[in-house]
Amino acid sequence: MPKSQAKGKNCTQGERVEENSDSHTESETTPMPQDTIDLLGDFLTVVKASHSSDEDKEAALEALVQSVEA
């Protein structure tokens, strides 16, 4: 049997798409809390600022991570 005929033999393209559509997680469908959005903005501001120290960047990142994990 030629290789092209064997490919996808057990399912159609539509079945693969349907199978993949069930893979959404809660985090993909739940809106991000406003405080997390604010912390993300703060983090980006600190990272973009040329005068920010590594400690400032690390503290902003840690606050963002804790917010996302909560």
Residue 28 amino acid letter? E
- List Cα–Cα distances, 1 to 4, 7, 8, 10, 49, in angstroms: 8, 10, 13, 15, 61
In sequence order, which residues have a C-beta less than 8 Å from that of residue 17 and are 6 or more positions away?
Answer: none
Is the torsion defined by CA of 25, 27, 30, 31 positive or negative?
negative
Residue 4 amino acid letter? S
pTM of structure: 0.48
In the numeric block, which tokens belong to residue 29?
């469908």
Average pLDDT over residues 44-66: 90
The model's pLDDT over 20-46, given as tens digits with 9 standing for 90+, comes to 555 555 556 678 889 989 999 999 999
